[in-house]
């Protein structure tokens, strides 16, 4: 895969989305900046390209002062070259927002720049399957998080959920089409299946051949451009740590990834 051409295609998709997202009935200041992707050379060179998708980012933002504050224990270079970007409104307004968020994805380095985050939330699950160093890339099913409600997108009031789903419908699909993964692992849990179907109308969640493991725990996802599976978010697995299925699901995913990530 040509990394530069793939990144250019992503940038064009992001620019198109930036131009149309104000047309939807969303209060842009009430959502975080979107999680935009930077194609890594490791992903571009991988024999098997793997995209690992979580739910949504929470309060994803970039700010020169915050990123340099030593009390956070973060590891970012100086200087931060872009305007502060915290909300979807700033994403639309700022002329450098796409560059800023792609920079942020690259500098974040799959939470290696924030060691505490690497041990929490989505990232332990990402690194379980991503390789060392990671050859996989990370993405999210929901591109933003609600600041007003501080709720996951699937838990928004119906009118706000529908507006958000309509706004991001094409973007998730375009990311997957452009990145051309051989394998997608959705670590998003069943609550985000609606958003996946929103982008892929033919998506079906089908129980695998693993005995006694239902599709809400571990499903093969048909109707996507790549071989795809969906299981719990890593935080969800912590809530089911004693589940007899946990190790079996992890082993099944590792068999799918074998012989190389």
State how far the alpha carbon of 134 is from the alpha carbons of 76, 123, 205, 253, in Å. 19, 12, 27, 16
CATH of domain 3-257: 3.40.470
pLDDT for residue 56: 94
Alpha helices in the chain (DSSP H): 3-20, 41-45, 64-68, 88-93, 97-108, 115-118, 123-130, 158-179, 193-199, 234-239, 246-257
Domain ranges of the chain: 3-257
**Would you mind telling me the total number of residues written for the chain in this entry?**
261
pLDDT for residue 223: 97
pLDDT for residue 261: 46
How many angstroms separate the CA atoms of 236 and 88, rounded?
27
Is the overall model pTM greater than 0.85, yes or no? yes
State how far the alpha carbon of 68 is from the alpha carbons of 74, 78, 97, 98, in Å. 8, 8, 19, 21
pLDDT for residue 67: 63
Q: Mind listing the pLDDT tens digit of every residue in the chain (261 residues)? A: 999 999 999 999 999 999 999 999 999 999 999 999 999 999 999 999 999 999 998 766 676 666 666 666 666 666 778 998 889 999 999 999 999 999 989 988 898 877 777 777 789 899 999 998 999 999 999 999 998 877 899 999 999 999 999 999 999 999 999 999 999 999 999 999 999 999 999 999 999 988 889 999 999 999 999 999 999 998 777 666 567 788 899 999 999 998 554
218-222 β-sheet, strand order: 137-140, 50-54, 183-187, 227-231, 218-222, 204-207
Side-chain-side CA neighbours of residue 160 (13 Å): 18
Task: Spell out the residues 6+ positions from residue 142 whose beta carbon is closer than 8 angstroms to its own.
Answer: 55, 56, 152, 153, 164, 168, 192, 195
| Exposed / middle / buried, residue 198 (Cβ in 10 Å: 0-12, 13-18, 19+) | buried
Q: Is it true that the peptide bond before 79 is cis, omega within 30 degrees of 0? A: yes
pLDDT for residue 63: 67
pLDDT for residue 156: 93
How many angstroms separate the CA atoms of 99 and 66, rounded?
18
């Amino acid at each position: 895969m040509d990394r530069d051409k793939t990144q250019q295609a992503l940038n064009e998709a992001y620019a198109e989305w930036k131009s149309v997202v104000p047309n939807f009935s969303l209060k842009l200041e009430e959502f975080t900046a979107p999680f935009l992707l930077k194609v890594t050379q490791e992903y571009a060179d991988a024999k098997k390209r793997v995209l690992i998708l979580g739910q949504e980012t929470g309060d994803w933002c970039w700010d020169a002062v915050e990123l340099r504050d030593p009390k956070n224990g973060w590891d970012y270079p100086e200087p931060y070259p872009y305007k502060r970007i915290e909300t979807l409104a700033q994403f639309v307004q700022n002329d450098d927002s796409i560059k800023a968020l792609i920079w942020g994805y690259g500098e974040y380095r799959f939470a290696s720049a924030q060691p505490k985050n690497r041990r929490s939330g989505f990232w332990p699950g990402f690194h379980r399957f991503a390789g060392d160093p990671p050859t996989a890339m990370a993405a999210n099913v929901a591109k933003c998080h609600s600041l007003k409600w501080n709720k996951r997108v699937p838990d928004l009031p119906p009118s706000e959920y529908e507006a958000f789903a309509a706004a991001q419908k094409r973007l998730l699909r375009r990311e997957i089409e452009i990145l051309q993964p051989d394998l997608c692992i959705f670590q998003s849990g069943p609550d985000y299946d609606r958003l996946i179907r929103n982008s892929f109308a033919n998506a079906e969640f089908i129980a695998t051949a693993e005995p006694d493991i239902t599709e809400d725990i571990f499903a093969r996802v048909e109707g996507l451009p790549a071989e795809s599976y969906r299981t719990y978010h890593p935080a969800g697995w912590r809530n089911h740590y004693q589940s007899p299925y946990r190790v079996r699901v992890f082993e099944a995913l590792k068999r799918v990834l074998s012989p190389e990530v």
